[in-house]
Amino acid sequence: MLIPQRQSRLADLLAKRGMSDLDSLAGALKVSLSTVRRDVETLESQGLVKRTHGGAIWVGDRDSSPRAYAFDQRIDLRADVKRRIARAAKELVTDGETVLIDGGTTTYHFARELFGRDLQIVTNSLPIAQLFANDERVELLLTGGLLYPRYGVLLGPTSERALADIHARTLFLSVAAVEDAQLYNQNLLLAEAEQRMMRQVQQVVLLLDSSKFGQRALARLCGLDTVHVVVTDPGIDDAHRQQIKRAGCQLIVAEGDA
């Protein structure tokens, strides 16, 4: 493979993955570590990637970057409702505290409400981390791990090891579905990461638009009784309000304009 072809292939890999370690890139391209390191340096000089310790992050054009995935397709879905939920949830955050924010479009809207506040924010989400990259008032910790491009979150053993050393006051997360007082998500690794997050905090806050109730997805996460607070919109029906109450959760219905 000629050098330009190899570097083009490397750029394609990083654009799809968002970030990767050098060992994985070398394996995918069937080249040595020294070769892939030189190619990463070349791409960095072109403004396409940013080198990290042992890896690289894609920072190239948006159209070919990992944000052109399902996250971007879903960010505007029921956006007014998600913004309303986000504004209600931000009142649960006190300046100076450490909060853990899971990936997702609803939590992304929530994170936007925290911009400019004095906080420590821990997240496994690349889109959320990008929000605070230049916010001097926020101390940001991005967990490592394997990028799940569909949602822009970092998962796997590396992420779980990082989370095991973190203690935060509150976890803010969303899920794909809630049915029969059980929470579900669409990916087994994502559910495992969220279970680890729950073990590292004092309080779990679920941000969820009402359309997710009465649905079921691939991976069971936990029972509703594991959650302390549910923030949703006025579209929630009486049956699910009662279900939340029976689980012992505080229910916050985000009224008003987004």
Residue ranges of the domains in the chain?
A: 3-64, 70-253
70-253: in CATH 3.40.50.1360: yes
What distance lies between CA 4 and its chain's CA centroid?
A: 34
Report pLDDT for 45.
83
- Please write the tens of the pLDDT for every residue from 27-80: 888 899 999 999 999 888 877 888 887 888 887 654 444 443 466 656 767 788
Give the tens place of pLDDT for each residue, 126-165.
889 988 888 889 999 999 888 877 778 998 888 889 999 9
| CATH for the stretch 3-64 | 1.10.10.10
Q: Extract the runs of DSSP E, i.e. beta strands, from 92-152.
A: 98-101, 119-123, 138-142, 146-148
- Same topology, domains 3-64 and 70-253? Answer is no
Pick the residue with more confidence: 106 or 68?
106
Q: Is the pLDDT of residue 106 over 50?
A: yes
Query: Which residues, in sequence order, are CB contacts of 52 under 8 Å at separation 6+?
Result: 19
**Range scoring the smallest mean pLDDT among 5-9, 186-190, 233-237, 238-242:** 5-9
DSSP 190-235: HHHHHHHHHHTEEEEEEE--GGGBT---SEEEEEGGG-SEEEE-TT
- CB-based contact 38:56 (threshold 8 Å): no
Q: What mean pLDDT is predicted for residues 103-126?
A: 93
Provide the pLDDT for residue 62. Answer: 47
Mean pLDDT across 224-232: 97
For the purposes of burial, counting CB atoms within 10 Å of the CB of 96, is it exposed (0-12), middle (13-18) or buried (19 or more)? Answer: exposed
* Beta partners for residue 190, in sequence order: none
